[in-house]
Amino acid sequence: MTRIGLQQATASGRKRAGAMAMLAILLAGCSTGGGSAEPPTAALAPAPGQSQGQIRAPVKIALLLPMGGMGETAAIAKNLKQGAEMALFELNDPNVELITKDDGGTAAGARAAADAAIKEGAEIIVGPLLSQAVTGVAPVARQANVPVLTFSNNSAVAGQGVYLVNFLAEQEAERIISFAAANGKRRFAALIPDDAYGAVIEAAFRRSVQNNGGTVSVVERYPLAANGMLAPAKRVVEAIKAAEAQAAPVDALFLPGGQDSLPKIGPVIAYSGLDTTKVKLLGTSAWDYPAISRETAFIGGWYPGSDPLAWRSFAERFAKTFGTAPPRIASVAYDAVGFAIGLSTNPPGSRFTQANLTRTNGFSGVDGIVRFQPNGLSERGLAVLEVQKFGATVVDAAPASFEATKISAADQTGSIGKPN
């Protein structure tokens, strides 16, 4: 178990914290519109009845992650921990303590970790990462009336005080398909992984196409085995060419893969002669990795994501602090802890209530605006980005607030992205 308060920050960390005081603005609540705004959710102001210099009892935030594992999961856990610690240091609230515990990646381990953290005074839990760990945490947290902001994106674990802070597949599919439809795309094809995530994202894709008045022309699925996507990729390209020959051309090809599959799919598309100026390639936020533009087939493609400016600033600070570039998910931990720190300025007993966590104006952080629903799902304001030779550029900005954003059916009831 690791317990960190601001007194443990390095001298350089303290200097960064002072320099980054303005970062609190990023974490302020979004305006509700209509001429009145709810107060900022993460402004570091003293609680009512407390003077600026008065020291209050530490507010304890628990961070539960599978720190003791090996391989990719342990690496992700380490980066999430670093993102969380960076929020603690930069937001510089001396009255907040971060308690990090290894949940073992299991229900039993997470249950024990949550129980220990709550007994030590944790008022909110950030994590776990894996859905099986959430099933262990949830009953303990509910009994103690302690909310959970989990990194899992499995909708089955959401609700009754468990909130999903990660990106959701329904919203990503709806954002990119609706943008494509608004730009004249009507017939869609898709190449989708043949796994649990593929089933979720395909359903979201089909629903979004239907909701936007489009037609699904062809869907191919590929196994996750090495090079398993090559034959399905060739088939989907052949089907697109056949549709064009039959005067029913496909306008867009949806590829919800990431850096594990796109480098293999890209050459197939390029060598097949598919004209990507006519067939727009569409993706998900998994396209948001630096090397995507190395495959020329993806240049000009669109994908949903957060505005890159705040991310670039975060990534630069992260690299300076930890000596390595952060993975995309690190900012999710940074934001989650930042939201908790913002709410910690409320009086005891009214900090992490459902009313505060589900406020209509939501929160704003590195990854843009987000608000939590009572059912535990989250709604994000997403931009649309276009892959270019030297990075990505925003072609449709993310909303700055939720005042003009309605909650969709997918936000209320949908399944969500790649299950963890």
What are the chain's domains? 2-166+329-380 (3.40.50.2300), 169-306+403-413 (3.40.50.2300)
247 sits in the region (left: phi over 0; alpha: psi -120 to 50; else beta) called left
Q: Which of 353, 373, 382 is nearest to 414 (CA)?
A: 373
Residue 2 or 166, more confident:
166
The CA-based angle 25-29-31, given to 5 degrees, is 110
pLDDT tens-digit map of 192-221: 999 988 998 999 999 999 999 999 999 999
pLDDT over 50 at 44, yes or no: no
Q: Which of 354, 360, 386 is nearest to 281 (CA)?
A: 386
Q: ω before 267 within 30° of 0 (cis)?
A: no
pLDDT over 70 at 26, yes or no: no
Residue 289 or 215, more confident:
215
Residue 410 or 154, more confident:
154
- In the chain, % of residues over pLDDT 70: 82
Q: In what order do the strands lie in the sheet with 252-254?
A: 215-222, 187-193, 252-254, 280-282, 302-305, 383-388, 391-396
pLDDT of amino acid 307? 87
Kindly state the DSSP code that residue 358 receives in the 8-state scheme: T
Whole-number Å distance between alpha carbons of 304 and 403: 20
- Look over the chain and give the mean of its residue pLDDT values, rounded to a whole number: 85
Mean pLDDT over 5-26 rounds to 36
pLDDT of amino acid 373? 96
pLDDT band at 39 (very low <50, low <70, confident <90, very high): very low
Q: Is the pTM of this model over 0.85?
A: no
pLDDT of amino acid 226? 80
pLDDT tens-digit map of 116-145: 999 999 999 999 999 999 999 999 999 999
pLDDT band at 4 (very low <50, low <70, confident <90, very high): low
pLDDT tens-digit map of 369-397: 999 999 999 999 999 999 999 889 999 99
pLDDT tens-digit map of 257-280: 998 899 999 999 999 989 999 999
Tokens 């898709």 belong to: 190
pLDDT of amino acid 3? 61
Q: Which of 253, 201, 202, 198 is nearest to 228 (CA)?
A: 198
pLDDT tens-digit map of 232-259: 999 999 999 999 999 999 999 999 999 8
> Concatenated DSSP letters for 97-144?
EEEEEE-TTSHHHHHHHHHHHHHTTEEEEE--SSHHHHHHHHHHHHHT
pLDDT of amino acid 374? 96
Residue 393, phi then psi, degrees to nearest 5: -130, 150
- In the chain, % of residues over pLDDT 90: 73
Mean pLDDT over 295-316 rounds to 94
For the chain, how are helix, strand and coil distributed in percent, rounded to 5? 40, 20, 40
pLDDT over 80 at 74, yes or no: yes
pLDDT over 80 at 413, yes or no: no
pLDDT tens-digit map of 78-124: 999 999 999 999 999 999 999 999 999 999 999 999 999 999 999 99
pLDDT band at 418 (very low <50, low <70, confident <90, very high): very low
Cβ partners under 8 Å of residue 49, min gap 6: 347
pLDDT tens-digit map of 163-190: 999 998 889 999 999 999 999 999 999 9
